[in-house]
Amino acid sequence: MAGPYCAWRSCDGVTGVNVSRIRRLLALALAVLASLPVAARAEWREASSPNFLVYGDQSESQTREFTDMLERYRSAMLYIYNLPPEVTSPSNRLTVFVVRDDAQVRKLLGTGSRFVSGFYQSRAGGSVAFVPRVNDDSQSDRVSDGERLLLHEYAHHFMFSVFSGSPPMWMTEGFAEFYASAKFESGGAVGLGLPADHRVAELELAQEVPIDMLLSTRKYRENTSKRYDSFYGRSWLLFHYLTFSDERAGQMADYLRRLDAGEGEEAAAVNAFGDLDVLDKELAAYKKRRRMTYLRLGPERITSAAITIRTLNKGEAAILPVMMRSRRGVNDEQAKIVVEEARQAAAPYADDPFVQTALAEAEFDAGNTAEALAAADRALARDPRAMNALIQKMYALFRQAEQGDARLWPKVRAAVAAANRVENDNPLPLSYFYRTYAAEGRTPPPVAIQGLERALALAPYDIGLRMTLAQYQIGSGQKERAQRTLAPLINHPHNTRLAETARALIEGRVPPAAKEDEDDTAS
């Protein structure tokens, strides 16, 4: 197998790279840790594939091509790490909204989004991403800024799914940057680990992060300034260098073994990489190279996925802008506005399950529990197996029981069971079965604990599930299991308060006061 050797800044030549060797090294390393009302367009489309659900404000061919890119990306990463293609529960697929342009993305994100070109939110049974359309005149097989952000965050998803422990922050971001710098050839081949062109200016002009800070999450967080620095660029550069360097082959796997054995980030770095000043000089020289290797996987190594495209009907197209705002998340004030728009859009479509489910979500967000339950029931009257409607009914009944009507708990569990029968691998019913006992003040039976553990296995990126399971484990005296459950949060790349909370729980301290932190990843 051979792959091209791409110019770092000019792509002016090719040479060979042994993909099998790199694949073995990467697999070895991995194994070690084992407010927006939008006028409805006439041609909103839904693309459904095994692992993604895409709503595109674009042509059928563009929607299909975008969805195929996501499936190919996932297949390529599974191939690199020699992992089997697991089945994704239909309602646990990543939902992507492809909107008109960057401005529309920024309106959805809201405050503080001046330069954002896409954003992503992860949660069990409802992970969503918002990206702009790619211009029709684009001839490049490299991804757009919004697509690259999505691939970056999906790489975090992938890492959570297959890594245990808590990789250092540089590795978490270096891993995601490495894979997000991708290309998708028209013939079916996928390129991974291409030069991160979008980090060139950062590496040249931003405040440099010293090598000892880069390799220590603690030092970086304690000493980083408010100035924009080169952390992401340097993390990508180090991951790329350790992946392809012949002289340092196997060092990344050794580094991860040492971390797993408890050596600590700083000691593991010195013991695995040697003199860090030497490594720093090598990185400086590597950054100046005119060409850099990347992995090219031919189409024969990429598993194709069936994609079904359909055009949304009038009711679905009318409610979709409301659904996007609900999925984005609303505060109390926004919820009041959204629910009024949802009612107006849904009024002509009382018998449309898609529309009524979206209305149920908007009513629930606005605190109108009875109205949410009524809308969910209308959806289920037309389609008893409408999973999202079953989930909304479960939410509404849970809230009613939690707010004081204890007689409803058997009814809540019946709703949970109904949803589980439709999709037994959907993490939400599995986790809510446990939550019904916790909220009622009863000891959860073993089957409820098993359901919560299974839910986290299906959605390892969901922070709430992870914290819920860890708190149960701590409360039941399972400290070591709680430590393993919380470990991936200790070096969380985007939420420092969450990392502090995880450390406090592991150490038996009172967690810091709750405070809203970054919930989204945007770029």
pLDDT over threshold 90, residue 500:
no
Which contacts qualify for 208-214: CB closer than 8 Å, 24 or more apart? 208/234, 209/234, 210/280, 211/276, 211/277, 211/279, 211/280, 211/283, 212/266, 212/276, 214/170, 214/238
> In CATH, which superfamily holds the domain spanning 319-515?
Tetratricopeptide repeat domain (1.25.40.10)
CB-side neighbour CA atoms (13 Å) of 452: 24
Rounded-to-integer distance, Cα 173 and Cα 202, Å: 15
d(CA 262, CA 259): 5
Domain layout of the chain by residue ranges = 5-301, 319-515
Q: How confident is the model at residue 210 (pLDDT cuts 50, 70, 90)?
A: very high
User: Does 221 score more than 80 pLDDT?
Assistant: yes
Q: Please give the residue that has the higher pLDDT: either 151 or 262.
A: 151
Please give the residue that has the higher pLDDT: either 224 or 165: 224
| Residue 40: pLDDT band with limits 50, 70, 90 | very low
Distance of CA 291 to the CA centre of its chain: 31
Q: In angstroms, how far is CA 427 from the centroid of its own chain?
A: 15
Find all residues with CB under 8 Å of 475, minimum gap 6, and list them: none
Mean residue pLDDT across the chain: 87
pLDDT band for position 166 (cuts 50, 70, 90): confident
Rounded Cα gap, residues 339 and 364, in angstroms: 9
pLDDT of res. 517: 43
Distance CA 170, CA 279 (A): 15
pLDDT in tens, 275-288: 999 999 999 999 99
Phi (first) and psi of residue 123, to 5 degrees: -160, 150
pLDDT in tens, 304-330: 899 999 999 999 999 999 999 999 999
Q: Which tops the pLDDT comparison, 339 or 256?
A: 339
419 vs 164, higher pLDDT? 419
Helix (H) or strand (E) holding 454: helix 446-458
Pairing of strands 521-522, 295-297: unpaired
d(CA 26, CA 29): 5
**Of residues 149 and 491, which shows the higher confidence score?**
149
pLDDT higher at 99 or 285: 285
pLDDT reported for residue 35: 46
Task: Please write down the HEC assignment for all residues of 377-397.
Answer: HHHHHHCCCCHHHHHHHHHHH
The CATH code of the domain at 5-301 is 1.10.390
The pLDDT > 70 percentage for the chain reads 87
Q: 417-465: per-residue pLDDT in tens?
A: 999 999 999 999 999 999 999 999 999 999 999 999 999 999 988 989 9
Question: How confident is the model over 100-143, as pLDDT tens digits?
Answer: 888 888 888 886 667 677 888 888 988 898 988 876 555 568 88
pLDDT reading at 26 higher than 80 = no
Q: Are residues 253 and 29 in contact, defined by beta-carbon separation less than 8 angstroms?
A: yes
- Listed residue (161, 83, 65) closest to 122, CA to CA: 161
Q: What angle do CA 312, 49, 3 make, to 5 degrees?
A: 130
Cβ proximity of 428 and 419 under 8 Å: yes
Our CA angle for 42, 43, 49, nearest 5°, is 150
CA distance 126 to 156: 16
